[in-house]
Amino acid sequence: MTNPSPRPSRLDPEIAARLKRSPDGLLPAIAQQYDTGEVLMLGWMDDEALHRTLTTGRCTYWSRSRREYWVKGDTSGHVQHVRSVALDCDADTVLVKVDQVGAACHTGARTCFDADVLLEDAAGRGAAASEQ
């Protein structure tokens, strides 16, 4: 099977054959702190970024805006050391469990998901609402 990504890749062909990519050849990659389960960020990987992540022990992503690879922490020092990599049940999302050094978010926050909370403790509110 040929690599549908427009960029050349050294990813193992057996792994590449399993992936279900977006039309632009990308997979969402969720970075999660390995020991706490904290969701840190979402990035995008093509086959080569996944190959680099699997073989270097550092998270490599594809920047959709800059159209280039970037290794988390190369400029900020906020490195993601890879502990494990798994595909979801549909093989269309990658979960990368990492040991995050410093902030994961480009804003300097620990996680990209703590500044704009749309709903919090919905279970608690649901219980309170049903008592009324």
User: Is 105 annotated for ligand binding?
Assistant: yes
User: Is 90 annotated for ligand binding?
Assistant: yes
Strand pairing category for 27-33 and 60-63: unpaired
Residue 43 tokens, joined: 């990035």
User: Is 112 annotated for ligand binding?
Assistant: yes
User: Is 35 annotated for ligand binding?
Assistant: no
User: Is 47 annotated for ligand binding?
Assistant: no
- Measure the CA–CA gap between 120 and 127, rounded to whole angstroms: 13
- Measure the CA–CA gap between 56 and 58, rounded to whole angstroms: 5
70-105 burial by CB neighbour count: b if 16+ within 10 A, else e? ebbbeeeebbbebeebebeeeeebbebbbebeebbe
| Torsion angle, alpha carbons of 14, 82, 109, 92, to 10 | 20
Q: Which segments are annotated as binding site for Zn(2+)? A: 89, 105, 112
Binding-site residues: 88-90, 92, 105, 112
Q: Which residues are documented as binding site for Mg(2+)?
A: 88, 90, 92
